[in-house]
Amino acid sequence: MTLPASPRVPCPGRQLDRAPSLPGNPRSFSIVARVTPATTRNRVAVLHGVNFDILERRDPSFYGGRSLSELEHQIEGWAREAGLEPIFFQTNHEGEFVEYLHRLPDLADGSLINAGAWTHYSRAIADALGVAALPAVEVHLSDVEAREDWRKVSVFDGLVVEKISGKGADGYREALGVLARALGVSN
Ligand code: DQA
């Protein structure tokens, strides 16, 4: 599986500036080296789609019974252990999800995406994920391969580094490891 190319590869290194001319010698100048620190690519957006705001009310045999904020709290701890800086987003509105993906390259270096039911049919979200062109890992709490046929389809096929499903919250931990490796972050 090939990684989507990041358009935001930092450009570490040196920038050369001309220092102001010395007084009394208008033609002289010196070269000053300014070192720009390499940017760390460790910002991860954790994106949840439709119906995740009521996670604690959904079938616990599939989704574990915890709330989204409990899940996010756990993910935050794992992300920091892996040397990643997480931000979180959830919406029930497809257009808002698309617009967040439009802004994603300014906000993050990679993403974990659990788009819920949109996973199985939203070409609009898949197109926007492709435009974001950042490494992404698809996560599902439940084992979508072992449920109804329509859940076996993912519109993100070919756009994500990996798909992890059926491991509950631990799937996010695994996905963070995959993303850390894809971003070259080691801890
Ligand atoms: C889900 C699986 C989807 O099929 C379902 O629509 C969800 C949750 C999961 O995490 O297992 O909303 O993405």
The single-letter code of the amino acid at 148 is E
Instruction: Supply the DSSP symbol for 109.
Output: S
Most informative mutation of 52, 58, 142, 155 for ligand 1 (most atoms within 8 A of CB)? 142
Residue 73 lies in a domain: yes
Question: Quick one: which of 105, 170, 112, 104 has its CA closest to 143?
Answer: 170
Atom of ligand 1 nearest to the CA of 51: 12
Residue 8 lies in a domain: no
Residue 99 lies in a domain: yes
Residue nearest to atom 12 of ligand 1 (CA): 116
How many domains are contained in the chain?
A: 1
Backbone φ and ψ of 139, nearest 5°? -130, 140
Residue 35 lies in a domain: no
Distance CA 187, CA 180 (A): 9
Residue 58 lies in a domain: yes
Residue 18 lies in a domain: no
Backbone φ and ψ of 170, nearest 5°? -60, -25
pLDDT of the chain, 187 residues: tens digit per residue = 444 444 333 333 223 233 333 444 444 444 444 444 456 799 999 999 999 999 999 999 999 999 999 999 999 999 999 999 999 999 999 999 999 999 999 999 999 999 999 999 999 999 999 999 999 999 999 999 999 999 999 999 999 999 999 999 999 999 999 999 999 998 7
Residue 144 Cβ contacting ligand 1 at under 6 Å: yes
Q: Is 140 a catalytic residue?
A: yes
Residue 59 lies in a domain: yes
Residue 141 Cβ contacting ligand 1 at under 6 Å: yes
Residue 31 lies in a domain: no
Residue 44 Cβ contacting ligand 1 at under 6 Å: no
Residue 86 Cβ contacting ligand 1 at under 6 Å: no
CATH number at residue 117: 3.40.50.9100
Look up the domain containing 170 and give its range.
43-183
Q: Are 142 and 165 in contact (CB under 8 A)?
A: yes
